[in-house]
Each structure stands twice: as structure tokens, then as C-alpha cells.
Chains A and B, each alone.
Chain A
Amino acid sequence: MSKAPDFGAVKTSADLLAIARVMEERAAERYRELAEAFEVSCNPDTSAAFLELAESEERHAADFPALDGVPPVAAAWGEEDPEIADPDAVHYLMYPWHAFDLALRLEERAVEFFSFFAEGSPYAEVRTQAARLAERELEHVAHMKARRDLLPEPPADWDEDLDPPNWEAGD
């Protein structure tokens, strides 16, 4: 469900930087939730991968000036963020490779997001800042691709679990 960003709400470079910071922080939060979820699902390798991603997003967030006050409304949540509840994004048997692949796609979406502003914002300083941020995200994309490709692609039957769903998990 992708909506075009609200260009009118982002008037200054500071606005855009605030959004960028919130995006990184939210991504970190989501990755941490995923790390926990995979710990509970007894998939420690993927849990560790998400933890690594969370820490990396936190480092990215620290690049930006700290927020004061309420984050801008324009940063629509749920579209750029890794969604723990997205059935297509996660699977309890997924491999660390899948986690980095997911992160890669999210970085690519971030590039898209900032490119929209670089091209379409009516405010010059926003366009300039957005172009810089898009460049930065492109670096992240490259880095994430390399990180992902350090690992072998998972086997074709990675999601095959012969054990049935646990019918003992009742209340």
C-alpha cells in the first residue's frame, strides 16, 4: 500500500533530516523486534542477523541531529519499515541470508523515498538534502548487498518443515 509522500509537509532540510532519523530509529526498533521473535522461534542465526541489522540502523540514526519534539507527520510508518507482521517478509525458518535480503530491499525503498523528494519537492533546500540522502542510501544498498552475498543462498527447500504445527500449544 504505497502512498506518494506528502511534499507539502516537508518544508525544510531540517524537516527531512528529522524524517530520515525517525526512519532509521524505527527500522532499528523493528529489527530488534524481529531479533526477539526469531529468538522465540528458536532460529538463533537469523535472530543474530536481525540484531546486527538493528545495531547498524542505530549507528545510521546517530548520524542525524537528535529529534526534538514530535516527528513530522509526513513519515508514513509501515511503508519503508521492515514489517515484523508482513507474512511475505518473514518466515520462522528463514535464513540470515533472507534477513539481509529483506534489509537490502528496504534500503532500496529508502533510496526511492528520498529520490521522490529530490525530484518532486517544491523546496530547493529539501531537494538538495534529499539528493544527498539518496546518495547515502545508495551506499547502504551496496553495503547491504555485499553483506548479503557473504552468505550462500539458502537451499531450495529452506522452508520445508516436516513437523506439523504444534497442536500442543493450546490454552
Chain B
Amino acid sequence: MTTSSGSGSVSIAMCGSGGAGVMTAANMFIDAAAEAGFYALFGRSSGPQIRGGEAAALLRVGSEPITSVDDTYQILLAIDWQNVNRFAAELPLNKDSLIIADPSAGDIPEVLLKSGARVVQLPMKDLAKEIPGGRPNMIALGAVAALINFPIEPLTEVLGKSLKKKRADAYEASVAAVKKGAELAPTLGACRKLGPAKRGAARWTISGNHAAGLGAIRGGIKFCAAYPITPATEVLEYLSSALPKVGGVFVQAEDELASVNMCIGGSYGGEPSITATAGPGLALMIEGLGLSMASETPVVVVDVQRGGPSTGIPTKSEQSDLNIAVYGLHGDAPHLVVAPDSIGDCLFTTQWGVHLAEAMQSPCIVLSDQSLGQSRAIIDAPADVAFVGKRVTAQTPAEGEVFKRYAVTNSGVSPMPIPGTPGCQYTADGLEHAENGNPSSQESDHAKQLDKRLRKLTTHDYGSHWATVEGEGEIAVITWGSCTGAVREAVERARADGVKARMISTRLIYPTRPEQMAEALKGVKKILVVEQSHQAQFNRYLRGEYDLPAKPEVLNRAGPLPIRPGEVHARLLSMGK
């Protein structure tokens, strides 16, 4: 896994509202950056209005892969200041930052000036008016690009692709506006510049949600029942068009109870099945996942975590569904829980999740989150991995043999027939059952089945994918999910400062890997757990499920503010004394 390098990147925030077009400009910029051979990360923040509300595009561009936000923005450009207080906390600046403001937008909010950032004026609205059909967001785009040494040709090329088809005059106007902005960049003063792009392997631009959808399809998913919920809807929208194209079936259900149970039905029929949801929807699906688990009918649920509890903060990221994902099912109900650690990893981990669910006939929850799901990144084209869902299927039994659906085997996995296979008819059941599938309340059957269902998960060989372990040192930072990028950068910075630390980012949340974790923690004297949860759910999980060589320190908080590399770095330095 390549490492990211904070110093070579530039972070840019663009604010504007209702028709200002900052999102359009940011999207074009990302597309152009991909053309030009850069890496990038693009997140966004907005108000609750569906149209016309205030919005901020949050970009980070560089020559090395980017998997985290930086500590501050080098550029904050505002076409207007409408309600920017709503996201001011997500726009950290310092004295090296540059605020580019349209003078017609009025006073710059005090909270931003406090940072000591330098302020320059750029009359984007007036400049746009001078160009027939010109728009302020294009002036902004040109100015920002030139300011950071971003080449102009990829921008005009991207404009050509998206606008030439619509109206030629819109294209001309936009190019003229971009060029005008670029022309004025030198008047805005000094700014951190981008290093040269490193062309090389093929690249993709993709969001975490789309990556999860594609990963599902690569893993062999053939059925999806969907119910939209922020911030997971894009996974389902992607599957709604892609799945039928590969011969699969997609259906919009009436609610989450229906979607998880439809998936169980589809899976019982032999088709690997998936759905995607967020916290409130996962809560509804819990009973269904219990049925999936007890009847050993595999199902994959992608949970794109958002601010909780209850309706919470639907548009912001958090890592607070860990408890319910691992412990939410009633009864002793062990099941698979995996977590991607970056946007690109959403593809691999979802694909892997499908593979694991099918191999072990278990529900699998894929814990993504809003910051991964709804951010777009330029990543190296993901390698093709050989993880495809493949069930251990049962064939027609020999003469005289009776088929036992829930037969106790060494691996704990019982061959599962696809309906249509003669001689293997069985009734799947949430009721506890004997090996032949008949309902049973007997102690021995219950013990056998509980043991088998646990054993099949714990004895599986997950290989090295259970976690990403990087670096060495007596300090270990244990983290998961979207915090991984920030932790990785922090560890690098600490190393440069002479404090050595290793990072363990767990991709397999459940089942636990005691031996592999012990190996990864060999020689560790201090542990720091980093997570985005108010009650430090991951820390409690680690302490409860693993034997740790030291009591961890914790760096945790709830969403919506992301954990930034600088704060982890500072903590590591103090731990390293």
C-alpha cells in the first residue's frame, strides 16, 4: 500500500450557494486532475435545503495517493458567504492560508479571519458579467488552478467534454472565464504549489458508495433489494443500473424490513444478495440478519454510517454503528463484520465481504461511512482480486443417504443446496434445529449448531486481509475505517520527528484474530486507539475481545468533524516522550 504525503498536496475549499455552482466546478477540477495525473479527494458540506442552499466543496490534490483530509486548507475561496457559519468548523485555516473573497459578498466571517489567514479580493461575479455567458464559478476555477500551478489544458479539455455537447457557446464562455481567472491568479499573491504530477499506472475517479456497488458486482452479487436512505442511496442507485446489466435483479422495496428479507429470499434461491443502508435502516434489519445467521442463508449489508443516535445527523460521518453491527443481534449470533479503510478499499472489502458471506453462509455487515461513501477520490485502478462468492453447494445424495442441510462438518460449513437440486429439499428455519433441519429444542442440537456456526467463522483462514499493519515501533495505533488515512499520515509525520509508531487498521472486525493481533502487537509498550465515536466503541471492543499488552490511550470524538492527521501526530509525539 503506497503512503500519502501531506506536504506535497494542496487543500482547497470553495464556498457558494444556490446556483453558484461550486460543486460543478469542483467536479470538473477533479476530472481535470485525473486527466493531468494527480491524485485527489473531494468531499462536501451543505445545508439542509434540497435546492439553492449553502455548500462547500472540500478538495485535496497532490502527486501521491490521498486518503485523508489535511489539517488546514491552503485556499478558501468564497463566491458568497451565505451561512458559511454552518460549516466554519470544517474549514480550518491558519496564517499560511489564503482567503479569496468576492468583494460583493460582503464581510468575511469573523470566525475565519481569526485564523490569521491572508485575505485577497477577486470580483468573480463582476468578472463573469464581462464575459457573455460567463459564470463566477469558472472564474474561481481558473484562478485556483493557476494559483497552485495546475495546468490549464486538462481543465479546458474537461469543459469540452461536458459542455461542447450541450451548447458550443457555453463551452466558449466557460473557457474564457477559466482563462480570465487564471490570468488574475498572479495578483492573488503567493500560495503553496502542487508538485509535478506523476503519471504512471491507470487511475480511476470513484466514490466510496460506487466502489462498494462495483465491489459487490465483482464479488458475484446477483440480487439487490433496496430502500433509499442517506448516505447510502448511491450504492443502491449504482446497483439499480449496473446489476441488471450483468444479468442480476434489482428491486426497490417498501422498507428495510422488506429489503433484508427479500435478500434472504433471493439468497435462499441461490443468488448472492446484497442491500445497503445506514444506522436507522440497519436497526430495522437486525431481526432479518438474525434469521440469515440462524438459517445460514448468506446476506451482505453495506452500512454507510452516519451521525447517530436515532435520526442523528444524516449527512455527516461517524463510526458509531460498531456496537450494533457486532452485538446487535439477539441471542448468541456471531456473524461477519468487515470495514473498508479508504474509498478504494470500499471496492475490495465489499467484494471480500460477498466472498466471505457466501463461503461461510453467514450474514456480513460491511461498515463503510459517509465520508468514504459520499466523497470522490482519484485512486490507482484497483487490482483484480480473485474473491468471488462461491458457496459450498450440496448435490443430490447417493442412494439411501439422507441429506442433512445443517450437518456438522470439520469446517463448520454445511453444504447448501440450490433449490432445483433433486433430493435435497429442506426447510430453512430461524428456529433452532437438528442437523437434518427439523426444529429442535434439545440441548445437544442447540449446542452443536451454536458451536458449528461459531466455528465456521473463527476457523476460516482470512489471510493477511484481516488488517493493514504498517511500520514498527513501541507505540501501536489501532484504528479502523475512514480514520486510517489520517492515522497513516500522522504516523509518517511522527516518524520524521523521531517517534516510531506502527499502525494496525482492522478490516475484519468480527471474528477477532487473537493470534494475528498478538503478532502485530509484539514489542508494543503503548497503544493509541483512534476512532470517531463519542463512547469510543472500538476501544471498548478491543479491550473486551482482545488481550492487549497495555491499556490503550484513546483519541476519539463523535462526528461531524473528521479526525485530522495533525491531532494524531501531536498525540504520538507526547506519547513518544
Which residues on A are within 8 Å of B, measured CB to CB?
Answer: 40-44, 92-93, 157, 161-171
Known: A169-B315, A171-B230, A171-B314. A162 touches B51 (CB 8 A): no
CB distance from B239 to the nearest CB of A (A): 16
Partner of A162, one of B24, B83, B231: B24
- B314-A163 in contact (CB<8A): no
- Bound-state CA distance A12–B52 (Å) is 47
- Bound-state CA distance A164–B50 (Å) is 9
- A165-B50 in contact (CB<8A): yes
- B24-A168 in contact (CB<8A): no
Contact with A along B3-46 (1 / 0, CB 8 A): 00000000000000111111110000000000000000000101
B489 at the A interface (CB under 8 A): no
Chain B positions within 8 Å of A41 at CB level: 18, 49, 51-53
Partner of A164, one of B23, B47, B229, B230: B23
- B230-A166 in contact (CB<8A): no
- B231-A168 in contact (CB<8A): yes
- Bound-state CA distance A161–B374 (Å) is 21
Chain A positions within 8 Å of B18 at CB level: 41-43, 92-93, 161
CB distance from B151 to the nearest CB of A (A): 23
- A42-B314 in contact (CB<8A): no
List the B residue with the shortest CB-CB distance to A159: B19
B205 at the A interface (CB under 8 A): no
The binding surface of chain B is classed by DSSP as loop
Known: A93-B52, A169-B49. A161 touches B19 (CB 8 A): yes
B82 at the A interface (CB under 8 A): yes
Which residues on B are within 8 Å of A, measured CB to CB?
Answer: 17-24, 44, 46-55, 80, 82-83, 133, 229-231, 233-234, 311, 314-315, 374
Chain B positions within 8 Å of A165 at CB level: 50-51
Closest 8 CB pairs of A and B: A170-B230, A42-B17, A41-B52, A92-B52, A162-B24, A42-B18, A42-B82, A168-B315
Known: A169-B46, A170-B314. A42 touches B52 (CB 8 A): yes
List the B residue with the shortest CB-CB distance to A162: B24
Known: A162-B21, A164-B23, A166-B46. A92 touches B231 (CB 8 A): no
CB distance from A151 to the nearest CB of B (A): 15
Chain A positions within 8 Å of B234 at CB level: 167
The binding surface of chain A is classed by DSSP as loop
Chain A positions within 8 Å of B51 at CB level: 41, 92, 161, 165-166
Chain A positions within 8 Å of B19 at CB level: 92-93, 161, 163
- Bound-state CA distance A170–B22 (Å) is 20
Known: A163-B19, A170-B230. A40 touches B24 (CB 8 A): no
- B24-A170 in contact (CB<8A): no
- Bound-state CA distance A170–B229 (Å) is 7
- Bound-state CA distance A44–B54 (Å) is 12
- Bound-state CA distance A42–B105 (Å) is 12
List the A residue with the shortest CB-CB distance to B51: A92
CB distance from B59 to the nearest CB of A (A): 15
CB distance from A55 to the nearest CB of B (A): 22
CB distance from A115 to the nearest CB of B (A): 38
Given contacts A169-B46, A171-B314, 19 further A-B contacts (CB under 8 A): A40-B53, A42-B18, A42-B49, A42-B52, A42-B54, A93-B19, A161-B21, A162-B24, A163-B22, A163-B23, A166-B53, A166-B55, A167-B234, A169-B47, A169-B49, A169-B230, A169-B315, A170-B230, A170-B231
- Bound-state CA distance A168–B21 (Å) is 16
- Bound-state CA distance A121–B133 (Å) is 53
CB distance from A54 to the nearest CB of B (A): 20
- A169-B21 in contact (CB<8A): no
Chain B positions within 8 Å of A164 at CB level: 23
Chain B positions within 8 Å of A43 at CB level: 18, 52
Between A40, A164, A165, A166, the greatest number of chain B beta carbons within 10 A of the residue's beta carbon is seen for A166
- Bound-state CA distance A43–B17 (Å) is 8
Chain B positions within 8 Å of A170 at CB level: 229-231, 233, 314-315
- Bound-state CA distance A157–B19 (Å) is 11
- Bound-state CA distance A93–B19 (Å) is 7
CB distance from B288 to the nearest CB of A (A): 22
Between B22, B50, B80, B230, the greatest number of chain A beta carbons within 10 A of the residue's beta carbon is seen for B50
Chain A positions within 8 Å of B20 at CB level: 163
- A40-B229 in contact (CB<8A): no
- Bound-state CA distance A163–B16 (Å) is 11
- Bound-state CA distance A164–B44 (Å) is 13
Chain B positions within 8 Å of A169 at CB level: 46-50, 53, 230, 315
14 A–B contacts from the bound complex (CB under 8 Å) = A41-B18, A42-B83, A93-B52, A161-B21, A162-B24, A163-B55, A164-B23, A167-B234, A168-B231, A168-B315, A169-B47, A169-B315, A170-B231, A170-B233
List the A residue with the shortest CB-CB distance to B26: A163
CB distance from A95 to the nearest CB of B (A): 11
- Bound-state CA distance A43–B54 (Å) is 10
List the B residue with the shortest CB-CB distance to A40: B49
List the A residue with the shortest CB-CB distance to B20: A163
- Bound-state CA distance A42–B15 (Å) is 12
List the A residue with the shortest CB-CB distance to B18: A42
- Bound-state CA distance A157–B166 (Å) is 13
- B47-A163 in contact (CB<8A): no
- Bound-state CA distance A165–B82 (Å) is 17
- Bound-state CA distance A164–B315 (Å) is 16
- Bound-state CA distance A168–B22 (Å) is 15
CB distance from B56 to the nearest CB of A (A): 11
- Bound-state CA distance A162–B50 (Å) is 14
Chain B positions within 8 Å of A163 at CB level: 19-24, 55
Chain A positions within 8 Å of B315 at CB level: 168-170
- Bound-state CA distance A170–B23 (Å) is 18
- Bound-state CA distance A165–B48 (Å) is 11
- Bound-state CA distance A154–B47 (Å) is 26
CB distance from A44 to the nearest CB of B (A): 8
Chain B positions within 8 Å of A92 at CB level: 18-19, 51-52
- Bound-state CA distance A170–B44 (Å) is 14
Chain A positions within 8 Å of B49 at CB level: 40-42, 166, 169
Between B18, B133, B234, the greatest number of chain A beta carbons within 10 A of the residue's beta carbon is seen for B18
- Bound-state CA distance A44–B52 (Å) is 11
- Bound-state CA distance A93–B18 (Å) is 7
List the B residue with the shortest CB-CB distance to A44: B82
